[in-house]
Structure 1
Amino acid sequence: MDSNTSPQDYLKESKKKLLYSIGLVAILFVFKLFGGLFANSLALLSDSLHLITDFFALIISWIGLKWTSKPANTKYTYGHYRHSILTALINNILLICISIFILYKSYLRFLNPVEVESALMIVFSLLGILVNALILLNL
């Protein structure tokens, strides 16, 4: 934030960037989910599940920005900054649940291997790299 930018302008710009990132992550999730299903790729499926946690983390961050912009009141005398602890807890619980699911699916794949469409998997992985680069350049 440069010296000529007000905190309100900074929050407004941050919210716009988060919404842009949320949209890109949602689109990438759909592509990787279908790519993982069509290619029989557990790697793409697990990455799509990881994108769900990113999606919710970005939404929670967006909500958090709205909360932190609220002024202090009699109930929250220091403001609403501590809501970020709750959002981090929710995100970590989601990650643990998804990790358990991936571990279970990996075990099943170990017992009954399936053929993976590697060309399709590579295409969707490259798409993921492109979208992540767009998000990085946006931030």
Structure 2
Amino acid sequence: MRINLTSVMVDDQSRALKFYTEVLGFVTKVDIPMGEFRWLTVVSPDEQEGTQLLLEPLGLPAARVYQKALFDAGIPLASFAVDDCHAEYERMLKLGVVFRGKPQLLGPVTAVVFEDTCGNLIQMAQV
């Protein structure tokens, strides 16, 4: 068994696509219109046949409540691996990304949390 698709809930798919591709560096894998929304996935440019990240529209009221509760509690919805957390932090800071602090060493991991412009907190981690 392996993970081939996971999702982040987003309040605006177009804004999410712009952030996840232009800022984070993912590439669009699938973009299919589905009524007022889209089946919209991105992947790592280094693993284009790897796990897809679905930019899932917030369609249900319960999803909005869940997303807001996580955000308000400071809990990241997802964690993305990087080779150099400090370098990515500096690069993304220059692009206007809002961080919840600076990269910190947490045992064997260096990590920092940022806002994805779509209602989520995302952790960036270097092992």
Larger Rg: 1
TM range (shorter): under 0.3
If asked which structure has higher relative contact order (CA below 8 Å, sep 6+), I would say 1
TM-score, normalised with respect to structure 2: 0.22
TM-score, normalised with respect to structure 1: 0.21
